[in-house]
Every structure is written in C-alpha cells, then in structure tokens.
Structure 1
C-alpha cells in the first residue's frame, strides 16, 4: 500500500495547480505531480499495474473507434 502515498501527493499537487494563480507554483506542482505519479506506478503491485495497462489499452481502442482514427493512407487500422 506504499504506492498510495505518492499517488495522494500527486493528486494534491494537481489540485493546487488548478487552484493557484501563480505560474511558478503551477509549474512546480505539475513537476511534483508527474514525479509522484510515476513513483506510485513503480511502487504499485503487479496486479494493479496490469489493471492499469488493460484499462489504458481498452480506453485507446474506445477512443480510436469513437473518433474514427485513420492512418496516413486513409483506411482504418487493423486493431
């Protein structure tokens, strides 16, 4: 469960980024959020990592079908 701490820090940093008016604070919070998010992915158990991978692949298939992704030749890619 140690991956939840960096994930919580990343979520707080994202919240701060949206609530602040200062540019330097927003940039700093984005950097913290990215670093903490990747750290939480590294520390996550393998079952959570597989779940994230499957959800990402499923989301890409849905996004591609709903927005009719096409390759350069104009035909739909074989998925």
Structure 2
C-alpha cells in the first residue's frame, strides 16, 4: 500500500471520512481503467454494498437508489 494512501486513511479516520476517501480512490482507479479500455468491472463488496453503489454512482453508471431498492 502506498504511503500516501496509509497517511490519507489515517487522517480520514480521525474525521470519520474513511468511506468517502475509499469511494473517491476507488472511483478514480475505476475511471482510469475505463479510460484505458476496460469495459467490465467486478467488485467484491465484503458486506459493504453501499460503497460499491457509491462508486458506481460516482462513475455515472447507475442512478442513486436507496439501498433497500438494490439489495
């Protein structure tokens, strides 16, 4: 794990913003993959489907829905 990621999560954890940081980093990485020609992404939710939903929303690939409507 790059040092900047560890440092960023340490700071985010203090503010209770770990999920927001995780979503932002994941969305950026996915965007780079899509720009590079990847046409399919697969997510392991690890019992946190709301994070995957938020990443998909950030990428513009799905409308924002209440989790009860998705799960």
Asked whether the two chains share a fold, i.e. TM above 0.5, the reply is no
Question: How does the TM-score come out when normalised to structure 1?
Answer: 0.34
Larger radius of gyration: 1
Q: Which has the higher helix share?
A: 1
* TM-score computed with the length of structure 2 as normaliser: 0.36
